[in-house]
Amino acid sequence: MDFKREEIQEHFNDWIKEQPKEWIIENLDDLHHHAFNTDYYIIGTYKAEQWLEDQVFNIINFIKDYEQDNFGEVFTDFASAEAIVNMYVYILGDEIVFNYISKLEKELEGVA
């Protein structure tokens, strides 16, 4: 699912620019956690509902599939627009961070 992927990518790009390179390299295994799980992407029901636009049901299904595949059950509170947005961003963030780490590792291999 690509809904607002570019926005989430930009959020990560801005966040990663603020991190010292040494810290990034030392924390590669926890980078996703630090970038997408230590703070909420959106706070507030109204802001979350606006952010979801008309994609709320598609996003809910996306989250259900992800959680079922990865955890064996669904944990997200779908009555909370905030929870939906933040879990969706967390999931896309996983792929964004994976791509970033892959690119970084290739760059580091070229330096070594």
Structure tokens at 69: 């595949």
Which segments of the chain does DSSP mark as H helices, in order? Answer: 5-17, 21-26, 31-36, 45-52, 56-71, 81-111
Q: What is the pLDDT of residue 43?
A: 97
**What are the pLDDT tens digits along the chain (112 aa)?**
999 999 999 999 999 999 999 999 999 999 999 999 999 999 999 999 999 999 999 999 999 999 999 999 999 999 999 999 999 999 999 999 999 999 999 988 887 5
Q: What is the pLDDT of residue 112?
A: 59
The whole model's pTM is what?
0.93
Q: Are 89 and 2 in contact (CB under 8 A)?
A: no
For the chain, give every domain's residue range. Answer: 5-111
